[in-house]
Copies of this chain bind each other. A is one copy, B any other.
Amino acid sequence: MNTPASVILPSFTDIEAASQRLEGQTVRTPLLENATLNEQLGGRILLKPETLQRTGSFKFRGAFNRLSLLDEDQRRKGVVAYSSGNHAQGVAAAARILGIECTIIMPKDAPSLKIANTRGYGAEVVLYNRRTESREEIADDLLERSGATLIRPFDDPQIIAGQGTCGREIYQQARDLNASVDAVLVCCGGGGLTSGIALATRNMSPETEVYAVEPKGFEDTARSLAAGTRLENDPLAESICDALLTPSPGEITFTLNQQLLSGGLVVNDEEVRQAMAFAFRNLKLVVEPGGAVCLAALLSGHFDAVGKTVAITLSGGNVDPTFFAEVLAAG
């Protein structure tokens, strides 16, 4: 796959404009420190818990930014999105606030909490079978009938700009703590949050290294960065990180990440479980598998934080209680 020359990239100005739009709608999530974690790793770790964001993940940022840019006619015709859950909740909540009709196409095996919450935000949910049905076909059909707008989960300049507001906050908050960030680790699926934070980094803290962190089997960004071109994941790969199971990097996100990232890190499911249990035990935060990959990269030593100041995202906390209990029991 190659990136077409026509791809439209967001700029830092788009992130600043998104911050204005999100004012009063998003939670300005804190930048937290934990003494036990710092001691254990021998560095200073700044945690950005987007678990505490509206809808329980960073996805509300991009969704609200994107939806608030729709014109009157588009708003009347509604929006459609496909998502395993966090983008779904973000779009549904943003649509409700803006009074826009919303249909979300979700896999039947998405965490039931995510499906229930998406419905709770007032969206119509269409379930499909990930193995036998195409979400794109279902979406195309819906879009054709309704004239609605498809809200992509990551490969959209205004979605990336929205997620980038998370990075903007990290550097503002780090400054308030007198911290100079050596590296930032970002939970990476399609790369929307990663490229948004990378863009904020280049403009606000250009010396900071940015790393994408992905689950094993879905390290498409890491491999694509190494290869210099977009590569796909094995369609049979599996991981507990339901929020990060994208087939390949996006066109826009990869174009940005290729310019701005220092590399990609990969963690396995067991390391993710350990990180979730650590977050429960020591941070007192509920973190979903996909939201725990950066913490996993630190705790398992894939990234050496000794003597460094490292900011990490905890990108979401939407996890089913039964699965969470299982992780705690094993931890």
A35 neighbours in B (Cβ, 8 Å): 54, 93
Identify the closest chain B residue to A53 (Cβ). B284
Residues of A contacting B: mostly:
helix
Bitwise, A254-291 to B at CB < 8 A (1) or not (0) is 00000000000000000000000100111111110000
Q: Does A322 contact B (CB under 8 A)?
A: yes
Interface contact B331-A321, CB-CB below 8 Å: yes
Identify the closest chain B residue to A33 (Cβ). B27
Identify the closest chain B residue to A284 (Cβ). B317
Interface contact A329-B325, CB-CB below 8 Å: yes
Interface contact B317-A321, CB-CB below 8 Å: no
A329 neighbours in B (Cβ, 8 Å): 321-322, 325
A295-331, CB < 8 A from B: 317, 321-322, 324-325, 328-329, 331
CB distance from A25 to the nearest CB of B (A): 9
Interface contact A32-B54, CB-CB below 8 Å: no
Q: Does A56 contact B (CB under 8 A)?
A: yes
Q: Does A70 contact B (CB under 8 A)?
A: no
Interface contact A284-B284, CB-CB below 8 Å: no
Q: Report A's interface with B, CB cutoff 8 A.
A: 27, 30, 32-35, 49, 51-52, 54, 56, 93, 113, 277, 280-287, 317, 321-322, 324-325, 328-329, 331
